Amino acid sequence: MHRMKTFMLMFILILVFIFLGGAIAGEQGMIMAFIFALVINVLSYWHSDKIAIKMTKARPLSEKEAPEIHEMVRKLSNKARIPKPRVYITPSNQPNAFATGRNPDNGVVAVTEGIMGLLNKEELEGVIAHELAHIKNRDTLISTIAAVMAGALAFLARMGRFQMLFGGRRRSNNKGALIQIIAMVFAPLAAIIIRMAISRSREYLADEEGARIAGKGDGLASALQKMQNYAQNREMKVNQATSHMFIINPFSGRGGISKLFSSHPPTEERIQKLRTIR
Mean pLDDT of 57-76: 96
Write out pLDDT tens, residues 24-65.
666 666 777 777 777 776 776 777 788 889 889 999 999 999
Average pLDDT, the chain: 80
Buried b (16+ CB within 10 A) or exposed e, 25-63: beeebbebbbebbeebbeebeebbbebbbebbebeebee
In this structure, the number of other CB atoms found within 10 A of the CB of residue 102 comes to 21
Say what the pLDDT of residue 69 is.
96
Say what the pLDDT of residue 225 is.
94
**Is residue 134 very low, low, confident or very high in pLDDT (cuts 50, 70, 90)?**
very high
Strand-pair category, 86-90 with 108-112: parallel
Write out pLDDT tens, residues 153-208.
666 666 666 666 655 544 445 555 666 666 666 666 766 676 666 667 788 889 99
Mean pLDDT of 5-12: 66
Among residues 261, 258, 238, the alpha carbon closest in space to that of 250 is found at 238
Cβ atoms of 48 and 101 closer than 8 Å = yes
Q: Taking the CA atoms of 231, 240, 92 and 216 in sequence, report the sign of the dihedral they define.
A: positive
Q: Rounded CA gap, 149 and 108, in Å?
A: 21
Exactly one of 131, 203, 208, 209 is catalytic; name it: 131
The model scores a pTM over 0.85: no
β-sheet bridge partners, residue 90: 112
Cα 153 off chain centre by = 15
Cβ atoms of 18 and 28 closer than 8 Å = no
Mean pLDDT of 103-108: 92
Can you give the length of the chain in residues? 278
131 catalytic residue (yes or no):
yes
Q: Rounded CA gap, 70 and 109, in Å?
A: 10
Planar angle of CA 41, 46, 47, nearest 5 degrees: 95
β-sheet bridge partners, residue 99: 109
Planar angle of CA 220, 224, 230, nearest 5 degrees: 145
**pLDDT higher than threshold 60 for residue 273:** yes
Among residues 198, 200, 209, the alpha carbon closest in space to that of 249 is found at 200
Q: Rounded CA gap, 137 and 206, in Å?
A: 8
**Is residue 222 very low, low, confident or very high in pLDDT (cuts 50, 70, 90)?**
very high
Q: How far is CA 137 from CA 40, 45, 101, 244, in A?
A: 22, 15, 11, 16
